[in-house]
Structure 1
Amino acid sequence: MPELAVVIPVRNEADNIAPLVAEIRAALAGRIPYEIVYVDDGSSDDTVQRIRALQATVPELRVVRHRASCGQSAAVRTGVRAARAPWIATLDGDGQNDPADIPGLWAMATGPDAPPGLGLVAGRRTKRRDTAAKRWASRIANGIRSRLLGDDTPDTGCGLKLFRRDEFLDLPGFDHMHRFLPALFIRRGQKVVSVPVNHRPRTQGRSNYGNLDRLLVSFGDLVGVMWLMRRGKRPDILPDDIHPGDILPESE
């Protein structure tokens, strides 16, 4: 069984499939037992056909399909549910995240120096290779989000993240939740660590998201997450009070 599942949501990224799969294999082969789970979010090009063709020579490769596009967060959740591994690494399907960074995140989360209570290792794009408009929009969104949620994460928009499957599925699910994962893990009482990672320019295809679209939906989502943060409670169960046959309350 794989120990790590690399979950990649995609929509109309046919030309990026083969190069990214090759990079993932080069980064992980011989290091970590892994699987690659692509989630096709209603593509209208031959993204699925490219994945199917590679499955003949890449036994680690799997694909799950959405009949119609449901968005990046829904695609990530579908991939995590389909994964067999207990650990999840997420990547954007456009090739801008570098799979060579995954072993570093893995070592941070599972090594002997892993911080107690660590829930999420998040990539931080120190040198973004995006347009000035994208960098400007992200800077505004990250600043507002960090101030209001106190998640202490400088770059929540980076698609490269690592976490445990069961802990992710315990989070409240909603559209665009992938932008708020640090706050949601903190809400569970867990720690979040940001790690500098490589970022590359998009060389093929085009982005499925616009700057204005992201900013507009983010403000509404931000209000909802603020409500979740205020309303969340974490019971602290006293071990001395536990006896055989006791039923413990489930954590949120």
Structure 2
Amino acid sequence: MDNSLTIIVPVYNEEENLLRVEEKLNEYILSCRINCKILMVNDGSSDNSEKLMEDICKRNSNFSFISFEKNCGLSAAIKAGFDHSTTNLTGYIDSDLQTDPFDFDLLLEEIDTCDLVNGYRHERKDSGIKNLSSLIANTVRNWFTHDGMDDTGCPLKIIRTDYAKRIPMFKGLHRFLPAMILLQGGRIKQVPIRHYPRLAGTAKFGLRNRLVKPLMDCFGYLWMKKNYINYRVYKKS
């Protein structure tokens, strides 16, 4: 089967970035070697994001959007993207564009032998406190998951959609996507990508939801790992 890609773009109060999202992702669509479309997920934005998304979709046939009634969080936005993806590959990029859409090509080079390819921001352009908190969080998470990923929170990923749709999402699980693919018996890999400072808008995650909440989520993941149902049908009438 020929590959095709849906790129999920979660949006929460990102009106200052959305025109740049339109421009950059349109550039990538034109250069992408496979069929590619964009699905923006409005996570209950209270600014002008929804109106901008409506206008973007009217101008661009490869763009579509869905909107939540209220803010539900990043994991919910990603799950909604998985649920509504109709292509065999599903990607994910943040609307702040601190990662480069053209680096999806680096991930696509590996996806034929993997079920998830995770970006790795090896030269992050964030503040020292933000970088340190992410390093600590990734290290602790690795103690629990043993997935070998250095940057599970990286907002640039490609997943085989049939695997993505089987992930039993809960709040915070967007940080555990590689581990959840491993629970399904899938293959994962990380690839170094570029990273840029945020140019507009404000970050949605602080010290508490980078350290305290992720640590609590690790215990939720352990419970899920112990009780996870994974079966494969090898014969049927």
TM-score by length of 1: 0.88
- Kept in 1, the 8 Å contact 2:134–2:210? The answer is no
Aligned pair partner of 2:36 in 13, 34, 37: 34
Aligned counterpart, 2:132: 136
1:236, CA displacement in angstroms? 6.7
Amino acid at match of 1:225: Y
Unaligned runs of 5+ in 2: none
Query: % of aligned pairs identical?
Result: 30
Given the alignment, which residue of 98, 103, 106 partners 1:104? 106
| Alignment length (residue pairs) | 235
Q: Which moved more, 1:29-38 or 1:202-211?
A: 29-38
CA drift at 1:218: 0.9
Deviations 1:42-92 (A, max 9, x none): 111111111122223211110100111000000011122122212101001
Which one of the candidate residues 94, 97, 112 is aligned to 2:96? 94
1-side partners of 2:4 and 2:96: how far apart? 24
CA contact (8 A) 2:57 2:65 kept: no
Please report how far the alpha carbon of residue 166 of structure 1 lies from its aligned counterpart in structure 2 after TM superposition.
Answer: 1.8
The aligned residue for residue 14 of structure 1 is: 15
Tell me which structure has the larger Cα radius of gyration: 1
Equivalent residue for 1:66?
A: 68
Match of 1:213 in 2: 209
Is 2:15–2:52's contact at 8 Å kept on the other side of the alignment? yes
| Alpha-carbon distance change, 216 to 82 in structure 1, aligned in 2, over 3 angstroms | same
User: Residue 180 of structure 2 aligns with which residue?
Assistant: 184
Relative to structure 1, the CA distance from residue 195 to residue 10 in structure 2 (aligned partners, 3 Å threshold; closer, same or farther) is same
1:66–1:236 distance in 2 versus 1, CA, 3 Å: closer
Q: CA offset at residue 8 of structure 1? A: 0.7
The unaligned stretches of length 5 or more in structure 1 are: 246-252
1:47 maps to 2:43: no
**How far 1:215 moved relative to its partner?**
1.5
Aligned twin of 1:248? none
Q: Is the 8 A contact 1:2 1:35 kept in 2?
A: no
Aligned residue for 1:145? 141
